[in-house]
Amino acid sequence: MVIDLDTVQVDVASLSLNENIHINQIGYRTSATKQVLVNGQADYFAVIDKDSGEQIFAAALEKGARDAGSEDNLYVGDFTKVRDSGAYYIAVPGIGMTDSFRIGEDVYEDLKRGLLKSFYFQRCGMDLDRKFAGDWEHKACHTSKGKIYGNEEVEMDGNGGWHDAGDYGKYVVPGAVAVADLLMTWELFPNSCKDDINIPESGNGLPDILDEARYKLEWLLKMQDDDTGGVYHKLTSKSFPSLALMPQDDTSELFYSPISAAATADFAAVTAMASRIFENYDRQFGQLCLKASEKAWIWLENNKAAHGFKNPGEISTGEYGDSNYYDERLWAAAELYRATGDSKYGEFFKSAYSTSGLRSFEFGWQSVGGYAGLAYLFTDESKQDKAVYDYVKMSLINVAKDRLRNSQMSGYNITLGFGDYYWGSNMKVLNDARLLILADMLEPSKDYIDAAASNFNYILGCNTLDQCYVTGFGHKPVLDPHHRPSKGDSVELPVPGLVAGGPNSGLQDEFARINLKGLPPAKCYIDYSGSYSTNEVTIYWNSPAVFVAAAFSEPERSFYALP
């Protein structure tokens, strides 16, 4: 159907907001591919200028794919040709209209800052002053020393770091991954990383993303055993506190869980990574990180038979257990080789890369093969083995092509397959977007970028639930996350900038089992704090979101602007 803009006009006055019309609720860069997805049959759609009320574009809606995850029958409208900066909304005759969204080169700036600022709100052990935290201020929390579980007469300072998620635990494994994501973001997209998100360190000449990473790194360094180099797995209370308890009111005893191989390897990797980056800003801190990393590697060499971590005795907080930590060792070796050039690390990587967890090329706390591979790909060319480099690159590209195929089969153009709606599915959405962006860097392709952007669009509202999965952003943001400070304070709205876990067909909490039973996988989400299996937040769901937002904000990248 050909739409003549001179003769076809949408009667906007007859339409109301309809959540079956899906867009990125934040908006689009001027050069980006732009699509509206409609769950319902209609012939055409129009783009309306919010300020003038004028219809500035109209086009046909084409029948799209049936989306397996949601069971939606979708119609697709393309408005990529709309490139002028401004605020707009979509109108679909017979169905309704969207709320407004923006088009512009700076469209993700506020979101990017908010996603990063969320780490400040997760800080432990310091006052969050109103000057920086606004309504979400609170006093310092968890400042007491922690006891070594099983050896309680020994107490150590564990102050600092970030709370992991909706609880107040501090964990090495996910914390190391979150720090790595922030450091990776700065390395690849430095022009997107400013010194202006209003944290206590803002204005010190160091990008705020590095200030925030350092706050966690300084805590990680406290988790290393001075004698052996091994790293304690976590510092938590014995059990989770009540949901509405503010952090400063949580006076539970804190315990260091035993040293683990996964924690030690992840620690070795991220401190080696940090040593390179901070060398140019604070040489002493960079050297401290490198020394700690090398010491952790010695522990790994001396404990090759170490088994996976299990919660000890009375400890019931997040386990973050991993029975196979070979990919973590590979990551540690790759980062140490990149940082030092020492052949022993390069030889370990070379001997192990093809039989390790690298084959999955995943990003996340449980599978870190992607971090290992990326560290090797970005190692100085003079230190690389070409055969190894080619294999690692091929591994990344092959996974990216697989994700691209998933995207092309999805009604919502996302990389999630039918079975991928599990606990923290939004982490996979964001990590897949990251992977596709990296693939584009190695083998430029507009298809990779479009698929990555579609995943980002999904997080920001272009999904079956019309849900923006970030607190404080979009016209339908997350309002009631499983996040103790947001429940315990007197502020109506939750802490902003937090990414929710997203649809989880496993229904792993009682509220989800009662209210979501029988729904398609993509609809197994509820914005309720009691549904921790769909609506909790974590630092390692936010960290890839920071990466993706920075990538799509990078001023030096056009992302394939149309001629």
Active site residues: 167, 482, 527, 536
402 three-state secondary structure:
helix
Residues linked to residue 264 through DSSP beta bridges, in sequence order: none
Q: Of 116, 124, 101, which is closest to residue 545 (Cα–Cα)?
A: 116
Residue entry with tokens 């990393």: 293
d(CA 470, CA 404): 24
Say how many C-beta atoms besides its own lie within 10 A of residue 95's C-beta: 20
Positive/negative CA dihedral, 178, 183, 187, 192: positive
Distances (CA, A) of 420 to 70, 405, 548: 12, 14, 20
Task: Name 74's bridge partners.
Answer: 39
Report the 10 Å Cβ neighbour count for 402: 15
Per DSSP bridges, beta strands 21-22 and 35-39 are: antiparallel
Residue with tokens 């510092």: 235
CA distance 84 to 106: 13
Q: Two tokens at 414?
A: 């996302």
| Residue 145 DSSP symbol | P
CB 471 within 8 A of CB 478: yes
d(CA 453, CA 200): 32
Q: How far apart are CA 308 and CA 300, in angstroms?
A: 13
The answer to whether residues 548 and 451 touch, using CB atoms and an 8 Å cutoff, is no
Main-chain dihedrals φ then ψ at residue 539, nearest 5 degrees = -65, -30
Handedness of CA 49, 53, 56, 61 (dihedral sign): positive
